[in-house]
Amino acid sequence: MSTQNIECLIIGSGPAGYTAAIYAARADMKPVMYAGMQPGGQLTITTDVENYPGYPDGIMGPEMMELFRKQAERFGTDVRYGMVTKVDFSQRPFKIEVDESQHLLAETVIIATGASAKWLGIPSEQKLNGKGVSACAVCDGFFFRGKEVAIVGAGDTACEEASYLAKICSKVYMLVRRDSFRASKAMQHRVQNTPNIEILFNTETDEILGENKVEGMRVKNSQTGQTKEIAIQGFFVAIGHQPNTDVFKGWIDMDETGYIKTLPGTSKTNIEGVFACGDAQDKVYRQAVTAAGSGCMAALDAERFLAANKHAVA
């Protein structure tokens, strides 16, 4: 198979990737997108999205991503299904391998591979995902206003999300596996001084209870092995996210957890002509709207890079 030369290659297809595609296509950069393992990204496993501007009645996550895709395709984006399995960023045009078989050349690359929430790995967690189980308190906390919920985690993010939920929910159980937090002292003090947060140390989740919605949880004391059931309506997992960036290791500068480092205020990476956007480089906000904004930045940065280098694909 002959190697194809692409002006703008977008890897990943969530809000960041699709927005980058819309801008790149309108700039006549003829973008090609590889949708990856989960076309549409994390929003395809999200039910109601109520915090994205322009949808006053809310919208289902999968439907929203379908609309993003149609808009990108309307302007000429070539959306393809496949996984990028290898890259060579040593020189332009960059060499890209897809599905371990197809080879591409790209003048610019926009990385929009996102991040995946880490889960506990119990069957009921996946069965009730979107039915009371969530990995984003900021996204889904509103649906549990006035209700009792639980959150699993011991770091800063877990403490932050527990504090957020405490403002909305009547009661928040915080499940901490060990006998202490990993969070900073300031965050620990915040949750410890919030009256409606009950911290359960040495506590593991044995099972999330309910058939079609979360109705409770069975927890186990990790020291005594004793279990007990607690009635809740929502269950939040805050044990971290894993950026989907392994394929770029060795080429792109990342932090210790794998998030891509970008030049502040831009989408530029340490490789000229390679840009990153969305949750692959954002471990702070992780929202659809901020991902979309950074996708716009990446496309504009790529367009300006091509113009400055006066080199486009024939």
Which positions are annotated as active-site residues? 136, 139-140
CA distance 125 to 205: 10
* Token couple for 267: 């989408």
Count other Cβ atoms within 10 Å, centred on residue 78: 16
CA distance 111 to 97: 14
Tell me the H-state helices in the chain. 15-26, 61-74, 123-127, 137-140, 156-168, 185-192, 288-309
**Taken in order 190, 193, 195, 199, is the CA torsion positive or negative?**
positive
The region, left, alpha or beta by phi > 0 then psi within -120 to 50, assigned to residue 206 is alpha
CB 108 within 8 A of CB 274: yes
Overall residue count recorded for the chain in this entry: 314
Using DSSP bridges, classify how beta strands 84-88 and 94-98 pair: parallel, antiparallel or unpaired: antiparallel
Q: Which DSSP letter does residue 77 get?
A: -
Q: Locate tokens 């202490």: which residue?
A: 180
CB 42 within 8 A of CB 287: no
- Number of alpha helices (DSSP H) and beta strands (DSSP E) in the chain: 7, 19
